A and B are shown apart, each in its own frame.
Chain A
């Protein structure tokens, strides 16, 4: 975790340093006064549940013999459980495809919107961002309708060409169906973050590059993209964390694609099913924790490979 922290020391005036004892106590007290309330919530709703989940995950509840301490048996079970493994494999595969697609699209849109400054471009920026304001659940409901045979336009559109519509809720194409929902939902949000970063670049840099004979494409690839690399890394990490925890969209589309999306489709859905469907809180906690481990390893590996650890956050 220490790799993530790179921060400036708050400045202390030379005069105040001389009367150290009194000032220090005051600084401690005021610092904790400001941080304390958040600290309490942090302990109560993050540290305590994490600790409790870890504790729960070390026990097993049996019909005969009650609850017993089993150390890592639940984890051994999880990492040999085909349901967990197939779910984990799905979210990893899904991340590898969906994150590059989303970020490439977001980056392209941000670059276009940074270059084109018409009224229509400003309107487009808002419209592209619009899906972020939609709850993921509602987004999934909307796309579910569009995909469905009864309500959706796909049957009509493909009927015009005399072919049958692809079934994005069927087991062959559900991957792409979900990919589309996620891209629609998040690409605009990432675009806004990248766009804000692009707008923060000093325009005189472009002038200088133009003087040196750089074209628009070169300015985009050699100046703009490298300068917004920290923002790119940030959204990559957040999308990775989010995608590995995939839950809302498949959970909602499950109703429409009953045969395709099972209760163990993603690790989070499996944990939910174990805990709330089967009241198996010990194993559910172990799966959550194992998923947390997968997330942590993936994020750390990503940060390691991009070698941007020092400039992130």
Chain B
């Protein structure tokens, strides 16, 4: 994929099409408006926010630092805890789901074992199961085990990523030649060593893609932690901000400061993912095309 793009870009001069670029400009504005609004309004204090000035421009008082201080000290620094919880859930869920998906995808692609076809069909069928339909029974199962309201109730169910298995299966099938694996075996490498040293490096773009998609899914998860957790010190940032929004809306007059916390809190919470996406861009784009091309 990368080769082809560079050949295309290199062999021809850039294609301009001015009207299309202007159209793109409008689209970019549309997609950026909410970010702009939130960046502008994070700078305002409560009077600025409610003063009725221009909602798409700064007021005279730009006070990011003061607002940040308020955000991170409100309610004993609960917001920082939420961010750390989200980070933990995203890393643990993301890495766990990826390890399982990579192994399973490789196994399905490269070994002919009993019930392989049937198992893979079941996994593909699982892509159609509404994930949220699983939340209620999973909650009851965890509550029978006394495990609701623990971090495990959020991390363990997010280890399940059938789409990751499908993606890895396609990628391992197409990008890792059997001949190479056989050659490694003939040279005396064990199965595990063949997997780790030969196959895994070749599957890297897909691994990064699955890792990123699983981590994003865990970070964005709302329904599962909302159902599982009642202690707000275990909340991820999505559930936490939802909680604040509920409080602020229910009691509009007394909680003006909470609105500015929600606005800045939303801004701060999206920064880690944006950074992760853009810094890893080179790696995940190649992997993403695989799922769509087959």
Instruction: Please give the residue numbers on chain A whose beta carbons come within 8 Å of chain B beta carbons, in ascending order.
Output: 1-2, 4-5, 7-13, 27-35, 37-39, 41-42, 44-46, 48-50, 52-53, 56, 109, 112-113, 115-118, 120-121, 123-124, 126-139, 141-146, 150-153, 156, 184, 188, 192-194, 196-197, 199-200, 202-203, 228, 230-231, 234-235, 241, 244-245, 247-248, 251-252, 255-256, 258, 268, 271-272, 275-276, 281, 284-285, 288-289, 291-292, 295-296, 299, 313
CB–CB B222/A193 < 8 A: no
Q: Mark B125-136, 1 if CB is under 8 A from A, else 0.
A: 111111111111
Taking a contact as CB atoms closer than 8 A, the residue among A115, A130, A276, A313 that contacts B20 in the complex is: A115
Pick the 4 closest A-B CB pairs, nearest first: A34-B107, A31-B113, A31-B111, A196-B289
Known: A35-B119, A244-B130. A194 touches B269 (CB 8 A): no
CB–CB A145/B41 < 8 A: yes
> Whole-angstrom distance from the CB of B162 to the nearest CB of chain A?
7
Please measure, in the bound complex, the distance between the C-alpha atom of A312 and the C-alpha atom of B285, giving whole angstroms.
21
Q: Mark B266-282, 1 if CB is under 8 A from A, else 0.
A: 10011001101110010
Please measure, in the bound complex, the distance between the C-alpha atom of A285 and the C-alpha atom of B35, giving whole angstroms.
38
Residues of chain A with a CB closer than 8 A to B125's CB: 1, 4
Known: A156-B54, A203-B4. A197 touches B293 (CB 8 A): yes
CB–CB A151/B124 < 8 A: no
Known: A136-B220, A192-B285, A289-B133. A120 touches B33 (CB 8 A): no
Among listed B22-30, B60-68, B69-77, interface-contacting one: B22-30
Known: A1-B122, A118-B16, A156-B54. A38 touches B34 (CB 8 A): no
Residues of chain A with a CB closer than 8 A to B103's CB: 34-35, 37-38
> Whole-angstrom distance from the CB of A94 to the nearest CB of chain B?
15
CB–CB B134/A141 < 8 A: no
Residues of chain B with a CB closer than 8 A to A203's CB: 4, 7-8
Q: Mark B145-168, 1 if CB is under 8 A from A, else 0.
A: 000000000001101101001100
State which size class the interface on B falls in: 35 or more
Does B227 count as interface, using CB distance less than 8 angstroms? yes
Known: A128-B28, A197-B289, A197-B292. A49 touches B124 (CB 8 A): no
CB–CB B289/A199 < 8 A: yes
Taking a contact as CB atoms closer than 8 A, the residue among B127, B140, B266 that contacts A142 in the complex is: B266
Residues of chain A with a CB closer than 8 A to B4's CB: 199-200, 202-203
CB–CB B15/A117 < 8 A: yes
> Whole-angstrom distance from the CB of A293 to the nearest CB of chain B?
10
Residues of chain A with a CB closer than 8 A to B246's CB: 255
CB–CB A52/B140 < 8 A: yes
**A289 nearest in chain B by CB position:** B133
Residues of chain B with a CB closer than 8 A to A134's CB: 270, 273
**Chain B, 34-67, CB within 8 A of any chain A CB:** 34-35, 37-38, 41, 49-50, 54-56
CB–CB B270/A135 < 8 A: yes
**Chain B, 173-222, CB within 8 A of any chain A CB:** 173, 178, 182, 191, 195, 216, 219-220, 222
Does B109 count as interface, using CB distance less than 8 angstroms? yes
> Whole-angstrom distance from the CB of A225 to the nearest CB of chain B?
13
Please measure, in the bound complex, the distance between the C-alpha atom of A311 and the C-alpha atom of B173, giving whole angstroms.
17
CB–CB A281/B21 < 8 A: no
Known: A30-B191, A39-B104, A142-B266. A128 touches B134 (CB 8 A): no
> Whole-angstrom distance from the CB of A189 to the nearest CB of chain B?
9
CB–CB A10/B110 < 8 A: yes
CB–CB B166/A115 < 8 A: no
**Chain B, 223-281, CB within 8 A of any chain A CB:** 223, 227, 237-239, 241-242, 245-246, 248-250, 259, 262-263, 266, 269-270, 273-274, 276-278, 281
CB–CB A291/B134 < 8 A: no
Taking a contact as CB atoms closer than 8 A, the residue among A2, A34, A193 that contacts B106 in the complex is: A34
Residues of chain B with a CB closer than 8 A to A156's CB: 54-56
8 A-B pairs with CB atoms under 8 Å apart are: A31-B114, A35-B116, A42-B126, A45-B134, A115-B15, A135-B269, A184-B31, A275-B139
> Whole-angstrom distance from the CB of A119 to the nearest CB of chain B?
8
